Amino acid sequence: MPTNLNFEMARSLVGFTVLLLFLSICESASFFQPISDSHRSAAVELFSPDHGSFKSLEETYEALRTFDVLGIEKKPDVTATACRLVSETVGSSSSTLKDLFYALKANSIVKCKINDKAYQGIITRLNAAVDGASSLPDFYYSVGGLLLVKGSKGDVHLADADGIFRLVKAFRQSDGRWRFSSNSPESSAFAAGIALETLAGVVSFASPELDQSLISTLNSDISKLFDSIEKYDDGALYFDDKLVDGHDHQGPLATTSSVVRGLTVFAAVTDERLNIPSNKILGLANFFLGIGVPGDAKDLFNQMDSLACLESNRVSIPLILSLPSTVLSVTKEDSLQVNVNTVLGSNAPPLTVKLVGVFTSGSKAASLVESQELVFDDGTGMYNLNNLPKSIDVGSYTFVFEIVLHEPEHEKIYVTGGQKKVPIFASGLIKIENAEIAVLDSDLGSIETQKKLDLAGQNAVSLSANHLQKLRVSFKLTTPHGLAFKPHQALLKLRHESKVEHIFVVGNSGKQFEIVLNFLGLVEKFFYLSGRYDIELAVGDAVMENSLLRAIGHIELDLPEPPEKATRPPPQPVDPYSRYGPKAEITHIFRAPEKRPPKELSLAFLGLTFLPLLGFLIGLLRLGVNLKNFPSNTVPATFATLFHVSIGAVLSLYVLFWLKLDLFQTLKLLGFLGVILVLVGHRVLSHLAATSAKLKSA
């Protein structure tokens, strides 16, 4: 049956996690604190009206009721606005039944002045509503409203109480739950609470003439309802409606609150004693107290209203044992204080608190102390055990208390829940002695260097060792009573420069703690990383008041070179701050311009290039150049002139080509000029050739 077993395990695991979840929600382990000032400040904070008034009458009532239960002074403006809202609703005939009901409820707290005429109107309206009611909420609002009118005015009657009782009872289901109306299939515990409250109202209108058998069947229904109660593992009990469709799902708090309200109101009007185990009432009280301080106004109202109902109910009034402090210092000789209160924190009847036994947590040994009574202190209202018993050293214990009521008849009124186990931590200063750190030679075990440590102060030991040596750290711990102490945390940490950490548990034999690190065996674990290792020692425990974390100093380790296949140290996380951030700017380095001679030099050489031209011109003049051969006739002279102009134009074109023209423009113009040049040149040259031939022949 492995699957079955798994299923069972899973279920128990779920149960356990629910418990843990609950523990994390509620105040702390297995005992509950009564209502305190933190509830009061929360109430003032949560019920803060917008612009002087609350959103609805229901919320107004909830605020007023919560303030009333917590004993908070009502602010005058809240009362005034509430009264205005109440009289508006009561006076108007168009207000809904629900608003009317909550107006009357709010009125029962603030006690506004409502005139008789308005009351008469309400009574007729409510009576008509009772007659025409077809669903549970209709009955609830109308009967409840009539009851409230009766409370402030008296002289109100409910016609045919017996019949109404039977009508309401028709909504009952066989499992003790109720339906909201005859045509809704869902039954709920929330409705059961409302039904009980309604019926209590009916009963109080027609107490004597009502058929007692009706009430006794209702009694057994209540017992059935309590069979479906659900339980947290710490003893808190609650009701919850498991509706698949959650749109009108109220949640466990509202449901439980509704049941508690109905139950206590019903118990108050019947003469019969309800057959409910008083432990269940205590479980319900634990549930409400376990919630702590709710963060929601509605939840706070439900919690406070239910606790107020439990505070003075006729079934049994729960008494809550609580401890202001469960951490006691042996060194400071704290005294053990116990409080016994009702759920709202008011005083309990005369009683004695007995310390039945003290057990070491997690062991089944016999009690460490004998049973004894705690002393009542009138001034603080607490039960004290002034000196912790001598047999209690530092450690965690379970104290078992029992409440014994002085008056036997109180046993029927109050419920104390039998023996109460409370976990107590007895803390103290632990003496640390003989702290030493030493480097040993491996073979002989002889001490090479040894340093004393002062673990209470600062140390800066600097050691060095190689892989053939050992490191020994030792110290001694004793409790205030001189016994051996084994802390939960006794760790030695070695941290390499590269942030690779190695942690060792320091073992003990009795009071003496010692750890020897043989580096030869640890070389591989240390990833062959030589260098500086910082040493830290952490000694701590829940009951050790002087828990410590000390940097002892450092050791310089000289380990052999890693072989080829040695494992690499694991990657270390990168510091997030250095991962981001601006990068260094980059600028481009441009190519350096070519080196050029100075401009003057170029200009000088430019001048030099003109010297040959100058020499040429001077040479021509010296030779006595003449232009006597220039044609004298007009036509050849014109062609000669044109020829030289063309040559000049071509040369100028070259200058223009250099200055601005591109090759294509130049070639185009050159072609044009070239043709002219050739034609004109031919005429000139042939003329000159003819002239010189004539001359030769002559």
Partner 1 sequence: MGKFWVIFVASISILLPFLCNSFSPETPTDRRVLVLLDDFAVKSSHSSYFNSLKLRGFDLDFKLADDPKIALQRYGQYLYDALILFCPSVERFGGSVDVAAIINFVDSGHDLIIAADVNASDVIREVATECGVDFDEDPSAMVIDHTGYAVSETEGDHTLIASDDFIKSDVIIGSKKIEAPVLFQGIGHSLNPVNSLVLKVLSASPSAYSANPLSKLSTPPSLTGSAISLVSVVQARNNARILITGSLSMFSNRFFRSGVQKSGSSTKYEKSGNEQFLTELSKWIFHERGHLKAVNVKHHKVVETDEPALYRINDELEYSVEIYEWSGTSWEPYVTDDVQVQFYMMSPYILKTLSNDKKGLYSASFKVPDVYGVFQFKVEYQKLGYTSLSLSKQIPVRPYRHNEYERFIPTAYPYYGAAFATMAGFFIFSFVHLYNK
Structure tokens at 315: 């079934």
CA dist 411 and 403 (Å) reads 11
User: Which residues, numbered 507-526, are part of the site for partner 1 (CB under 8 A)?
Assistant: none
| Torsion sign (Cα): 128, 130, 134, 137 | positive
Helix (H, G, I), strand (E, B) or coil at 421: strand
User: Which residues, numbered 244-263, are part of the site for partner 1 (CB under 8 A)?
Assistant: 249, 251-253
CB of 201 to partner 1, least distance (A): 29
CB of 335 to partner 1, least distance (A): 14
CB of 137 to partner 1, least distance (A): 22
Nearest CB to partner 1, comparing residues 251 and 349:
251
Nearest to 641 by CA among 654, 633, 77: 633
Nearest CB to partner 1, comparing residues 157 and 488:
488
Amino acid at position 281, single letter: I
CB of 185 to partner 1, least distance (A): 19
Task: By CB under 8 A, name the one of 223, 275, 572, 686 that touches partner 1.
Answer: 572
Contact of 409 with 349, CB cutoff 8 Å? no
| Torsion sign (Cα): 33, 36, 42, 44 | positive
Q: Interface with partner 1 by CB under 8 A: which range of 16-24, 202-210, 342-350, 365-373? A: 16-24
Residues 6 or more apart whose Cβ sits within 8 Å of residue 668: none
Print burial letters for 578-607: b (CB count within 10 Å at least 16), e (below 16): eeeeeeeeeeeeeeeeeeeeeeeeeeeeee
Query: Can residue 384 be called a binding residue for partner 1 (CB under 8 A)?
Result: no
Query: Can residue 154 be called a binding residue for partner 1 (CB under 8 A)?
Result: no
CA dist 473 and 453 (Å) reads 10
Residues 6 or more apart whose Cβ sits within 8 Å of residue 36: 345
User: Which residues, numbered 574-613, are part of the site for partner 1 (CB under 8 A)?
Assistant: 574, 576-577, 579-588, 590-591, 596-597, 599, 602-603, 605-610, 612-613
How many Cβ atoms from other residues are within 10 Å of residue 213's Cβ?
8
Residues 6 or more apart whose Cβ sits within 8 Å of residue 154: none
Nearest CB to partner 1, comparing residues 9 and 566:
9
Helix (H, G, I), strand (E, B) or coil at 330: coil
Nearest CB to partner 1, comparing residues 150 and 514:
514
Query: Can residue 678 be called a binding residue for partner 1 (CB under 8 A)?
Result: no
Contact of 229 with 237, CB cutoff 8 Å? yes
Nearest CB to partner 1, comparing residues 213 and 609:
609
Nearest CB to partner 1, comparing residues 423 and 480:
423
Task: By CB under 8 A, name the one of 91, 137, 349, 540 that touches partner 1.
Answer: 540
Radius of gyration of the chain (CA): 53
Query: Can residue 627 be called a binding residue for partner 1 (CB under 8 A)?
Result: yes
Query: Can residue 44 be called a binding residue for partner 1 (CB under 8 A)?
Result: no
Amino acid at position 385, single letter: L
CB of 160 to partner 1, least distance (A): 40
How many Cβ atoms from other residues are within 10 Å of residue 447's Cβ?
12
Nearest CB to partner 1, comparing residues 21 and 128:
21
Amino acid at position 338, single letter: V
Task: Name the β-bridge partners of 495.
Answer: 501, 534
HSE-up (13 A, CA, CB side) for residue 172: 21
Query: Can residue 38 be called a binding residue for partner 1 (CB under 8 A)?
Result: yes
CA 322, 328, 334, 339: dihedral to nearest 10 degrees? Answer: 0
Q: Interface with partner 1 by CB under 8 A: which range of 17-25, 176-184, 378-386, 477-485? A: 17-25
CB of 150 to partner 1, least distance (A): 34
Nearest CB to partner 1, comparing residues 19 and 83:
19
Nearest to 524 by CA among 469, 563, 472: 563
CB of 25 to partner 1, least distance (A): 4
CB of 14 to partner 1, least distance (A): 6
Task: By CB under 8 A, name the one of 648, 665, 678, 693 that touches partner 1.
Answer: 648
Contact of 535 with 551, CB cutoff 8 Å? yes
Sheet containing 317-322: order of strands: 375-377, 382-385, 336-342, 317-322, 414-415
Q: Interface with partner 1 by CB under 8 A: which range of 221-229, 404-412, 455-463, 644-652? A: 644-652
CB of 258 to partner 1, least distance (A): 15
Nearest CB to partner 1, comparing residues 616 and 672:
616
Nearest CB to partner 1, comparing residues 126 and 323:
323
CB of 233 to partner 1, least distance (A): 13
CB of 133 to partner 1, least distance (A): 31
| Torsion sign (Cα): 387, 393, 394, 396 | negative
Query: Can residue 423 be called a binding residue for partner 1 (CB under 8 A)?
Result: yes
Nearest CB to partner 1, comparing residues 225 and 291:
291
User: Which residues, numbered 432-491, are part of the site for partner 1 (CB under 8 A)?
Assistant: 486, 488-491
HSE-up (13 A, CA, CB side) for residue 579: 4
CB of 553 to partner 1, least distance (A): 16
How many Cβ atoms from other residues are within 10 Å of residue 255's Cβ?
22
Nearest CB to partner 1, comparing residues 292 and 562:
292
CB of 424 to partner 1, least distance (A): 8
Q: Interface with partner 1 by CB under 8 A: which range of 95-103, 321-329, 398-406, 431-439? A: 321-329
Q: Interface with partner 1 by CB under 8 A: which range of 104-112, 267-275, 408-416, 618-626? A: 618-626
φ and ψ at residue 203, rounded to 5 degrees: -60, -40
CA dist 486 and 484 (Å) reads 7
Give the binding-site size for partner 1 (rule: CB under 8 A).
109
- x-marked contacts with partner 1 along 326-365 as a string, rule CB under 8 A: xx----------------------------------x---
- Tokens 């509950």 belong to 32
Task: By CB under 8 A, name the one of 411, 445, 560, 654 that touches partner 1.
Answer: 654
Sheet containing 461-466: order of strands: 461-466, 548-558, 531-540, 489-496, 501-505
CA dist 222 and 216 (Å) reads 10
User: Which residues, numbered 202-241, are part of the site for partner 1 (CB under 8 A)?
Assistant: none
CB of 613 to partner 1, least distance (A): 4
CA dist 253 and 622 (Å) reads 133
Task: Spell out the long-range contacts of 8-15 with Cβ–Cβ below 8 A and sequence spacing 24 or more.
Answer: 15/233
Nearest CB to partner 1, comparing residues 119 and 425:
425
User: Which residues, numbered 87-126, are part of the site for partner 1 (CB under 8 A)?
Assistant: none
CB of 203 to partner 1, least distance (A): 33
CB of 28 to partner 1, least distance (A): 4
User: Which residues, numbered 271-310, are part of the site for partner 1 (CB under 8 A)?
Assistant: 291-296, 299
User: Which residues, numbered 395-414, are part of the site for partner 1 (CB under 8 A)?
Assistant: 396
CA dist 358 and 372 (Å) reads 11
User: Which residues, numbered 55-94, are part of the site for partner 1 (CB under 8 A)?
Assistant: none
Nearest CB to partner 1, comparing residues 29 and 159:
29
